């Protein structure tokens, strides 16, 4: 039986962790081993899956002690593949391979982050030891090439999610339109940009009846509360915090907005399409690969408050247009962004087939 080790320095609560959890759940606990370095909010979710779990402290990408421990776990558990998610874990896995671990190392590059010149140079040589590098978007592939990753090692596999189980995602008719923004309350997610755009909309169309649900938590919460007061948006904004049942968020929304300053290939955009909701996003990172203008949603330049306000107005006032892009988004999701498609492409990297997955 082919066994895969999934390795994460920190099991946080973001899209990368969901990606790993979904793959492990699909493959089954008997095929998988999980290794982490630091305790994180999603650690319990991994442990609940019942697979062999090991804590290995990883102090940087060249931690030889950690690499030796990874090698030992691979030998003990009979691991054939290591699937790393970030550069630190990838380099440590490659060092374990150099130390004699008989494994193939796969690295998924989820988020575009700055990389020092030293690593760009090292990547030219080190990444040749990888079996494959999975890029979650074509945008990310272009960034990887700039970081010294050999093109012949890269395979683009879009993130995917399971088709929602809800029978219908149509929201009951209401005079008040619900806009939702989902994500960590941090600078790069663009909440301030959205607030300023909505303030313009409220000024130009004071009788338009809408409410913004903010789903998520983070360091910017207090500042955003103050900004809501300053912009006279308090009555329109509902801070919901962390929500366990995301079905309710999407079902009860008329519009999903992603106002981010930078993104890779976010799950929120995929989820919005899966629930057949109109989407407005900024045209950054991999978002234009998901949101196609006037087909699966609307794109606006980050920081263009007038364009954002106009786009929101169009979706909220033109029901036929909103339904059209929502339907187009659902169709695009079913063809390109399902978990089954992602799983089959990833299993091929492991030289497995879906019917082999027990």
pLDDT at 172: 61
- Collapse the DSSP code of 82 into the 3-class scheme (helix H, G, I; strand E, B; otherwise coil) and give the result: strand
Q: Two tokens at 231?
A: 């912009």
Structural domains for the chain? 4-160+338-356 (3.40.50.2000), 177-336 (3.40.50.2000)
290 close to 217: Cβ distance less than 8 angstroms: no
H helix or E strand, kind and range, residue 241? strand 237-241
pLDDT digits (tens, 9 = 90+) for 66-76: 999 999 999 99
Given a contact cutoff of 8 angstroms between Cβ atoms, the answer to whether 216 and 182 are in contact is yes
Low-confidence ranges of the chain (pLDDT < 50): 355-358
Q: Residue 48's pLDDT is what?
A: 96
Q: Which of 303, 304, 266 is nearest to 288 (CA)?
A: 266
CA distances from 7 to 67, 197, 277 (A): 12, 40, 34
How confident is the model at residue 355, as a pLDDT? 46
């Amino acid at each position: 039986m082919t066994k895969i080790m999934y390795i994460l320095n920190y099991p946080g609560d973001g899209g990368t962790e969901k990606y790993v959890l979904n793959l492990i759940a699909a493959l089954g606990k008997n095929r998988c081993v999980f290794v982490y370095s630091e305790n994180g909010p999603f650690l319990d979710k991994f442990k609940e899956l019942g697979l062999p779990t090991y804590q290995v402290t990883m102090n940087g990408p060249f931690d030889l002690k950690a690499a030796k421990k990874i090698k030992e776990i691979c030998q003990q558990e009979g691991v054939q593949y290591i699937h790393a998610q970030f550069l630190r874990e990838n380099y440590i896995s490659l060092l374990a391979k150099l130390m004699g671990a008989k494994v193939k190392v796969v690295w998924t590059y989820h988020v575009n982050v700055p990389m020092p010149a030293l690593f760009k140079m090292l990547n030219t040589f080190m990444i040749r030891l990888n079996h494959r590098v999975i890029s979650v978007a074509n945008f990310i592939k272009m960034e990887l090439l700039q970081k010294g990753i050999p093109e012949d090692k890269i395979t683009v596999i879009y993130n995917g999610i399971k088709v929602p189980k809800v029978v219908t995602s149509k929201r009951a008719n209401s005079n008040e339109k619900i806009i939702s923004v989902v994500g960590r309350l941090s600078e790069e997610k663009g909440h301030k940009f959205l607030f300023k755009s909505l303030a313009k909309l409220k000024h130009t169309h004071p009788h338009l009846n809408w409410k913004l649900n903010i789903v998520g938590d983070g360091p910017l919460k207090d500042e955003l509360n103050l900004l809501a007061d300053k912009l006279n948006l308090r009555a329109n904004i509902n801070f919901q915090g962390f929500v366990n049942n995301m079905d309710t968020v999407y079902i009860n929304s008329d519009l999903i907005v992603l106002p981010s300053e930078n993104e890779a290939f976010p799950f929120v955009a995929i989820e919005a399409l899966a629930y057949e909701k109109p989407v407005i996003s900024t045209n950054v990172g991999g978002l234009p690969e998901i949101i196609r203008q006037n087909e699966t949603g609307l794109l606006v330049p980050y920081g263009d408050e007038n364009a954002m306000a106009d786009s929101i107005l169009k979706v909220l006032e033109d029901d036929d247009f909103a339904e059209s892009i929502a339907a187009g988004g659902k169709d695009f999701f079913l063809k390109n962004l399902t978990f089954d498609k992602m799983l089959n492409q990833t299993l091929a990297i492991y030289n497995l087939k879906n019917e082999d997955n027990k």
